[in-house]
Amino acid sequence: MRRLLILSLAVTAILVFGTLAATAANAASPEVLPTPTEKEPLKFETQQKTESNFLETEASGSKVECKAVRSLGEFTSNTLGKASIAITSCKLNKNGTKCLSLGASPGEILLSNVIVGLVTVDLSGGELMLGILTSLPVALLHIECGITLLLVGGSLIGVFDLKASESGTKGEESVEFYLQNKGVQEVKTCKEPKSTCSGKTFGLYSELGKGREGAGLQSEDTIKLELTTKFKEGVAFDF
């Protein structure tokens, strides 16, 4: 069992460190403690850490590049939550045309009621990492870039960076990575909870009018928690 422990010095300041190595042999379903509820949720905010992020398609090589991502969300149970995501300054790499989702302004891709859930993933020889499974709220997300219509569906897994916690370094934020290679998401499976992960493969896909192909998101985001009264002593992510 491993624990990612977040302690509060102020309402939004967090310190991160970890204990105990986790392996596939002693894996347990990940959970937030104390348990959030609908009335007392654990709120979080994420912001893009790098200069840009991009969504790339596998076969056609089309790429939508954006300059900023910000999400606001909350966990309402020990495993599940929801978020709203705003991705801005988005354009098609081939010609610089601004991209937008339905109902958004040019350059904006907006998502609401995005379901997020804690999972564990096996990245390196049986050692488990804490991950977050993000599922699109619609069957197909419509992204228009001028005359180009990109339809995106599926779900994806991001992985928390625990290097700081393993070294004992204290920081004010945690980082999650969404990694892809040539339009294919790198993290495709998870271990726990079994009801979510067992026998399933995750990833994004796209449709450009020529059939379905893989798609991948590359992004690095910082996460901050709002440690309200219920969580004033800190929050633990056990996995």
The pLDDT profile of the chain, 239 residues, written as one tens digit per residue, is 666 666 554 333 333 433 333 444 455 789 999 999 999 999 999 998 888 899 998 877 789 999 999 999 999 999 999 999 999 999 998 899 999 999 999 999 999 999 999 999 987 767 788 999 999 988 899 999 999 899 999 999 999 875 544 433 334 467 888 989 888 999 999 999 999 999 999 999 998 766 788 999 999 998 888 888 888 777 888 88
Q: What is the pLDDT of residue 1?
A: 64
**Predicted local confidence at residue 9, as pLDDT:** 43
Q: What is the pLDDT of residue 122?
A: 86
* Cα 57 to Cα 44: distance, rounded to the nearest angstrom: 29
Distance (Å, whole) CA 236 – CA 221: 20
CB atoms within 10 A of CB 43: 17
Please report where in the chains the tokens 């200069």 appear, as a residue.
51
Which among 189, 165, 232 has a CA at the least distance from the CA of 13? 232
Contact between residue 122 and residue 113 where contact means Cβ atoms under 8 Å apart: no
Q: Taken in order 224, 226, 231, 233, is the CA torsion positive or negative?
A: positive
At 79 the pLDDT is 95
Which pair of tokens denotes residue 36?
A: 């959030």
∠ at Cα 110 (181, 225), nearest 5°? Answer: 80
HSE toward the beta carbon, residue 176, CA cutoff 13 A: 22
* pLDDT of amino acid 49: 83
**DSSP bridge pairs for 219:** 178
Beta carbons within 8 Å of 49's beta carbon, 6+ residues apart: 175, 220, 221, 222
What are the φ/ψ torsions at residue 56 (nearest 5 degrees)?
-120, 140
